[in-house]
């Protein structure tokens, strides 16, 4: 790190980026791109670009095959229940699949690029942890009834953030349903009695589900995704789930799946009742808000013509997930294009402030970013 003062004085923040990269090389903690000179030249020119990632697949007892059928993907494992599109969860960190950063992991890029990638205010708030996990979920059977802890409980128990999430339903079979909250306010004692009697399902608020439905699921809210639903989930970077009821299912070894009845008691919000669909009003060739909370803002962007947009006030990365159609992206003064098809995701670094969208017919994108106190 002897070079640090020299690079910072000579090149300012870019010198810090380059020095951190060289330090990462020295510590052997990064996947090196084949041509280090190209990598360093791009750091010095701040030539970040929209990043795509290789999906991380998760096989589940309730998983299906819609990622192959609907997204036309190849190499998806059988019974695939989740496709993690953007992740900084340990052991499941996303790896870049396009451009000169191909082969580098998301956690490495946050450490090297810092605010240029995630936004200065986002970096000040979350440090080297990329704060969101974006995934698709394909439920060919009912998921377990479950709950997630809030930040305070998750940090105390698991040394990680809690889990606030939202869902956008991409596909729903006839009579598909999900659970959102209790069907009435209950006491902890009533809940414990229902667990002991195997009667938890009688307390649950069951909702009919249709394509395009949106749900916000705060920590403490009991919930479950039903059979025949495929959805997009945006959540905090956390993989902590307390399973309450699992229909007496057995795993591949014939054992009943583990429940977390005791842990869930401290996490449950017994006043979370009748969690309803989020109302929203789509706009043609403009963004409309779906969910806004301190952890993320999610909009839907419907377009059928080329659109140019500037983001001078957003000090955050922006994630775009294509849920219908397809789209090419151009950025800033660059004439290269990045394509996103239905079921694909792209992470736009915070340093990019101008985007041009070229849709293939009618296209729907979900737009996700973070509004911190410093960039509201």
- Split at pLDDT 50, 70, 90, the class of 47 is confident
* pTM of the entire predicted model: 0.89
CA distance linking residue 132 with residue 89, whole number of Å? 9
Q: What are phi and psi of 164, to 5 degrees?
A: -100, 140
pLDDT (0 to 100) of residue 308: 96
pLDDT (0 to 100) of residue 20: 52
Enumerate residues 6+ apart whose C-beta is below 8 A from 2: none
pLDDT (0 to 100) of residue 59: 96
CATH 2.60.120.10 range(s) for the chain read 56-267, 286-369
Enumerate residues 6+ apart whose C-beta is below 8 A from 197: none
Q: Of 243, 257, 337, 356, which one is the catalytic site residue?
A: 243
| The two three-digit tokens of residue 349, written as one number | 């670094």
The residues facing 222 across adjacent strands are: none
- Tens of pLDDT, residue by residue over 309-357, are 999 889 999 999 999 999 999 999 988 999 999 999 999 999 999 999 9
Residue listed under structure tokens 């349903």: 177
CA distance linking residue 102 with residue 32, whole number of Å? 10
For the cut 70, the answer to whether the pLDDT of residue 6 exceeds it is: no
pLDDT (0 to 100) of residue 256: 87
> Class of 286-369 per CATH?
mainly beta
Instruction: Kindly list the distances between the CA atom of residue 158 and the CA atoms of 65, 216, 240, in Å, as whole numbers in the listed order.
Output: 32, 23, 8
- Tens of pLDDT, residue by residue over 361-375, are 999 999 999 997 655
State whether residue 337 is helix, strand or coil: strand
DSSP type of residue 74: S
> Class of 56-267 per CATH?
mainly beta
Of all residues in the chain, what percent carry a pLDDT higher than 90? Answer: 80
For the cut 80, the answer to whether the pLDDT of residue 9 exceeds it is: no
For the cut 80, the answer to whether the pLDDT of residue 280 exceeds it is: yes
pLDDT (0 to 100) of residue 249: 86
For the cut 80, the answer to whether the pLDDT of residue 41 exceeds it is: no
Average pLDDT of the chain, as a whole number: 89
CA distance linking residue 365 with residue 320, whole number of Å? 6
- Tens of pLDDT, residue by residue over 94-119, are 999 999 999 999 999 999 999 999 99
Planar angle of CA 362, 84, 59, nearest 5 degrees: 115
- Split at pLDDT 50, 70, 90, the class of 251 is confident
State whether residue 327 is helix, strand or coil: strand
Our answer to whether residue 243 is catalytic in this structure is: yes
């Amino acid at each position: 790190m002897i070079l640090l003062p020299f690079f910072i004085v000579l090149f300012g923040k870019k010198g810090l980026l380059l020095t951190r990269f060289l330090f990462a090389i020295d510590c052997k903690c990064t996947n090196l791109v084949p041509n280090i000179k190209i990598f360093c030249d791009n750091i010095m020119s701040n030539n970040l670009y929209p990043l795509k990632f290789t999906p991380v697949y998760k096989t589940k007892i309730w998983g299906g095959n819609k990622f192959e059928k609907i997204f036309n993907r190849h190499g998806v494992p059988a019974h695939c229940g989740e496709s993690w599109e953007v992740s900084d969860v340990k052991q499941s960190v996303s790896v870049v699949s396009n451009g000169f950063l191909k082969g580098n992991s998301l956690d490495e890029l946050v450490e090297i690029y810092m605010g240029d990638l995630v936004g200065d205010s986002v970096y000040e708030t979350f440090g080297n942890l990329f704060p969101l996990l974006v995934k698709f979920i394909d439920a060919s059977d009912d998921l377990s009834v479950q709950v997630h802890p809030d930040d305070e409980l998750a940090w105390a128990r698991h040394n990680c953030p809690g889990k606030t999430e939202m869902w956008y339903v991409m596909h729903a079979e006839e009579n598909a349903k999900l659970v959102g909250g209790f069907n009435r306010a209950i006491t902890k004692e009533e809940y414990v009695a229902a667990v002991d009697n195997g009667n938890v399902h009688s307390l649950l608020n069951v909702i009919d589900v249709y394509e395009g439905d949106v749900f916000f699921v705060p920590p403490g809210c009991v919930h479950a995704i039903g059979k025949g639903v495929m959805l997009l989930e945006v959540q905090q970077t956390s993989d902590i789930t307390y399973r309450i009821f699992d229909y007496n299912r057995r795993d591949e070894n014939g054992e009943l799946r583990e429940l977390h009845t005791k842990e869930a008691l401290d996490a449950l919000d017994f006043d979370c009742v009748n969690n309803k669909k989020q109302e929203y009003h789509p706009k043609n060739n403009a963004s409309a808000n779906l969910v806004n909370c301190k952890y993320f803002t999610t909009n839907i962007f419907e377009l059928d013509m080329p659109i140019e947009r500037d983001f001078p006030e957003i000090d955050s990365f922006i994630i775009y997930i294509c849920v219908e159609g397809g789209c090419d992206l151009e950025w800033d003064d660059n004439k290269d294009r990045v394509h996103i098809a239905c079921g694909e995701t792209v992470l736009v670094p915070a340093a990019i402030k101008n985007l041009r969208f070229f849709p293939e017919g009618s296209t729907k994108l979900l737009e996700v970013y973070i509004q911190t106190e410093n960039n509201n």
